[in-house]
A and B are shown apart, each in its own frame.
Chain A
């Protein structure tokens, strides 16, 4: 178990080992919500919250969990926090809850959360695990917000619902549909890895 510093964890989860464009995790939600910046922001906050608290909780009880039920217990903890998020949204932000619809429940299936639980929380103390969860969520959110910025601007002509493009600019309807998410994400991976490769060569 190598004790990583908080700064290194931040750099890794935001860039060098980003969960979305390097580890290629959490792709389903990356494709589903990114045609709207508002939905993406809410999803990003939800995933960050769940990853942080799930990692924190799992790290606390990791010594008690029997080997045979390790993944089941982790899934239980993750599902618990996702349902808490769902309850909070339905009670206090019902408009956003309606807009996100089934996507909130789908956070449970986001591989990033289980990934961090297995790879980090199982072997580190609670507070650094929570930090790892927070930074993983932020890395995920940053990539998704970039994709959503492109998709919403070109597909609807708006940013967070505010009209930006001039009237004569035609809307790229494909940007609103799933295939465009694949294209934009693929380009992101391409550019991101190229920059990392060049930086690696320069070292």
Chain B
């Protein structure tokens, strides 16, 4: 058969494509459950951390089922937990960042006075710049930050690597060279916080 004839070309292309894609399909299926369980574990661990529970990987599912309860308001799922006598409510969020979606978990005290916990679970921001929103110095700025007086602000003139340690000023330091990502995150967080405050009001009724 002529290797460069049209029949051989079509048949060869079909067989080669089928073979390689088949192997990929099998590999994907063989690892799917592992990938899915990691994703679920990772998400539950982030939620637990945002609610103040630090657990080892083996205890994640147990601790999650023990401590985190979910409830629905207006078709949004909220999470609730009692931690040391305090009621904390929170939710998962996904919003627009600079390059893609930013996802995470945020929780506030049920009296609506301050942010309790905050975690970033996924984003597509520029590594080394906007991507630094997942670093602990940045995230720690939000924990315990006062929100009762209004929405969060950015300290644009004090971009830093240490974070704003003042918990009462309702604002946070942006990342050096990543003002846009910081701004997108601010918009996302203020939106989520206002929803959470509303939900907190509803469960306290």
Contacts and interface: CB of A to CB of B under 8 A. Distances in A.
Interface of A: 35-36, 39, 61, 64-69, 72-73, 76-77, 80, 83-84, 87-88, 90-92, 94, 98-99, 101-102, 155-156, 171, 173, 176-177
Contact of A91 (B3, B23, B35, B128): B35
A61 B3 CA distance: 13
Interface string B21-40: 00110011001001100100
Interface of B: 3-4, 8-9, 12-13, 16-17, 20, 23-24, 27-28, 31, 34-35, 38, 42, 122, 124, 127-129, 161, 176-177
B35 A69 contact: no
A176 B128 contact: yes
Q: Main SS of the interface on chain B?
A: helix
Contact of B177 (A65, A72, A173): A173
Nearest to B125: A101
B13 A64 contact: no
Contact of A69 (B13, B34, B38, B42): B13
Nearest to B99: A102
A69 B161 CA distance: 52
Given A66-B9, A91-B35, A80 B24 contact: yes
A77 B20 contact: yes
Contacts of A155: 128
B129 to A, nearest CB: 7
B131 to A, nearest CB: 9
Contacts of A69: 9, 12-13
Nearest to A67: B4
Contacts of B177: 173, 176-177
B196 to A, nearest CB: 27
Nearest to A175: B128
A33 to B, nearest CB: 8
Given A66-B9, A91-B31, A91-B34, A177 B4 contact: no
Contacts of B16: 61, 73, 76
B180 to A, nearest CB: 14
Nearest to B27: A87
- Minimum-distance CB pairs A-B, first 3: A91-B31, A176-B128, A66-B9
A83 B20 CA distance: 11
Nearest to B2: A66
Given A36-B128, A176-B129, A177-B129, A84 B12 contact: no
B9 A90 contact: no
A90 B129 contact: no
Contact of A87 (B17, B31, B122, B127): B31
A156 B27 CA distance: 38
A178 B38 CA distance: 32
A65 B38 CA distance: 40
Contacts of A98: 122
Given A35-B128, A177-B129, A80 B23 contact: yes
12 contacts: A36-B127, A66-B3, A80-B20, A83-B24, A84-B24, A84-B27, A88-B31, A91-B34, A94-B42, A101-B127, A102-B124, A173-B177
A76 to B, nearest CB: 6
B21 to A, nearest CB: 8
A94 B128 contact: no
Q: Which of B4, B9, B17, B20 has the most A CB atoms < 10 Å from its CB?
A: B20
A152 B98 CA distance: 24
Contacts of B13: 66, 69, 72-73
A66 B8 contact: yes
Contacts of A66: 3-4, 8-9, 12-13
Contacts of A80: 20, 23-24
